[in-house]
Amino acid sequence: MTIYVLSVVLAALFLLIVLELVRRQKLKEQYSLLWILFSVTLLIVSFNVHFIEWISDRLGVKYAPAILFLFGLLFCFAIILHLTIVITRLSSQVLRLTQELTILKEREAPRGQNN
C-alpha cells in the first residue's frame, strides 16, 4: 500500500511544480497542459487502487503498481515524440530564415563587396 501513497504524493508534488513553473512563466501553457493532464490522471489513478489492480489483472501484470510506471513511461515517450516534432519544425524554420537573411544581406550589400 505504501507505493500508492508515494505515487499520490509524487503526482501532487509534480502538479504543484508544473503550476509554479507556469506561474513564473518558465513553462509555456501549451506544454503545461500535457503535464497537468498527466499529473492529474496519475493522481486519480493513484487514488483508485481497485482500478490499477483491475488493469493489471487484465494485462497480466503481477505487480499492480508497475502499471503506474507503465503509464508514466508511455507518457514520457509521447512527450519525447511531441518535442522531437517541435524541434524538427523549428530546425526547418531556422534553416529557412537563415537562407532568407543571407539573400537579404546579399541584396543590400553594395556591388563588388562580399561580406
| Chain Cα centroid distance, residue 48 | 24
Give the chain's count of helices (H) and strands (E).
Answer: 4, 0
**Predicted confidence band at 65 (pLDDT cuts at 50, 70, 90)?**
confident
Residues, the chain, total?
Answer: 115
Question: What angle do helix axes 29-47 and 2-23 make, rounded to 10 degrees?
Answer: 160
Cα→Cα distances 28→58, 60, 70, 74, Å: 37, 38, 26, 22
Confidence check: pLDDT of 115 > 60? no
pLDDT, tens digit (0-9, with 9 covering 90-100), for 1-28? 577 788 889 889 989 999 999 899 998 8
Cα→Cα distances 80→35, 36, 51, 73, 113, Å: 12, 16, 27, 10, 46
Written as nine digits, the cell of 99 is: 537562407
Residue identified by cell 493513484 is 46
Structural contact between residues 48 and 85, judged by C-beta atoms closer than 8 angstroms: no
In whole angstroms, give the CA distance from residue 17 to residue 19.
5
pLDDT, tens digit (0-9, with 9 covering 90-100), for 66-114? 887 888 888 889 889 988 998 999 999 999 999 999 999 999 887 666 6
